[in-house]
Copies of this chain bind each other. A is one copy, B any other.
C-alpha cells in the first residue's frame, strides 16, 4: 500500500482498491478462514460524535477477524472533551492500540490524527468532508451485485450538492471504464462543479435530470440519499418537490428487473417502507457488505504497516485556513500545510478547503 493511513479512498491506487474489494469477497465466502487473523490486535474507535451504525460496523468487523476493540462513542461524557488536545489523545491511543478509526465533526480531523499516530488511522467520517469506508462499502456492494465496476448507468438521487457519499462514489467510480452517471436532483442541489470536472476528465459521462421517474427506465444502479428539509428554499417548495425524489413501488414499475437500489442509511422517508420487500432493494445487504469491506481494509492495513513513529510535519505556508469547520480552527498547534494550485490558490491539506492568497 502506498499510504499507511486511509483518510480518503483516493489514498488507495485502483489496484489496491480492487485487491481490497476482492479480499472482502473472499472473506464473505470463507469467513471462518479469517476469524482469527487479527487475534491479539486492538482497534480503537474514537467517535467524537455519535454514529452508532458506523461504530457497530467497525467493531463487528474487528471482532469477526478475532481482534478486539476499545474506544468511546460519546466524548461529551468523557474526559477527552476536557481540554486535552487531539494530538495528545491520538499519541496515547496510537501507543495503546494497533489501528484507529476516528470520527469527528471537524473537517480534516483524520488527516490531523494521522500525523501523530504510530498506528494506522482510518477516517470514519470527518464533518462533511470524507467518509471513505462508506464508499468502499458502496463499491464492494456494486462489485458483488453487478459482477464488475464498469459499464453501468448509475443514478444518484437526492441532495447531490452536500452529500459527501455521492461525491466520493462518483470520484471512485470514475476510475472504472465506461460508467454513465445520471444526476437526479433539484437545480439548487446539483453536484458541485469540481465533481463535474472529475467526470469530464474521466472515461465516464453524465446527464442531469430533475425527477426520479424520468431517469428510472435506464438505470442499472440507483443510489438514493436523503434531502434534508432545510435544503429547500421554502417549506412550500419542500412539500411540492419532495415526492419527486421519493422512491416508492409505483416508480419502480418502470425500472429494470436487475436494478440495484443502494442507500448509505439511515434513511428517513426518501424510500417508502414498501420498497424494502422488493428484491431490487439492496440497502440492507449493503450494510453487510460494509462489514466485509471494513474487515478487508483492516486486515490489509495491519498486514502492510508496522507501528512506527510519525515524522514531524512543519508549516508549508504562514496562512490560516479560512474554513471555519476545519480542524485547524480548533486545534491551534497544528502545522499550517497547504498545496499550491495555480498562482494564488492554496488548498488546505486537512480539509481541502480553498484559500485565496
Contact = CB atoms under 8 A, between A and B. Distances in A.
Interface of A: 32, 35, 40, 42, 44, 50-53, 56-57, 59-60, 63-64, 66, 68, 70-80, 82-85, 87-88, 91-93, 95-97, 265-268, 273, 277, 284-285, 287-288, 291, 312, 333
B70 A42 contact: no
Contacts of A64: 40, 42
A73 B82 CA distance: 15
A119 to B, nearest CB: 12
A36 to B, nearest CB: 8
Contacts of A32: 40
A92 B268 contact: no
A273 B96 contact: no
Contact of A70 (B59, B70, B273): B59
A265 B284 CA distance: 39
Nearest to A67: B63
Given A60-B97, A64-B40, A287-B95, A265 B88 contact: yes
Contacts of A80: 52-53
Given A64-B42, A79-B51, A92 B265 contact: yes
Contacts of A312: 277
A90 to B, nearest CB: 10
A56 B70 contact: yes
Contact of A266 (B50, B57, B84, B287): B84
Nearest to A36: B40
A87 B44 CA distance: 29
Given A32-B40, A40-B64, A42-B63, A79 B53 contact: yes
A206 B266 CA distance: 51
List the number of copies, as a whole number: 3
Given A42-B63, A64-B42, A96-B56, A333 B273 contact: yes
Nearest to A31: B40
Nearest to A54: B79
A298 to B, nearest CB: 15
A339 to B, nearest CB: 24
A78 B73 contact: yes
A273 B87 CA distance: 10
Given A35-B40, A83-B268, A265-B88, A77 B95 contact: no
B63 A79 contact: no
30 contacts: A32-B40, A35-B40, A40-B64, A42-B60, A42-B63, A50-B77, A50-B79, A52-B72, A52-B79, A53-B79, A53-B92, A56-B70, A56-B92, A60-B70, A63-B68, A72-B73, A76-B77, A84-B265, A84-B266, A85-B273, A88-B266, A88-B284, A91-B284, A92-B265, A92-B284, A95-B284, A95-B285, A96-B287, A273-B333, A277-B312
Most buried by B among A77, A78, A96: A96
Contact of A92 (B35, B74, B84, B287): B287
Given A56-B92, A91-B284, 9 more contacts: A50-B77, A52-B75, A52-B78, A53-B80, A63-B68, A76-B77, A79-B266, A88-B284, A95-B287
Most buried by B among A42, A44, A284: A284
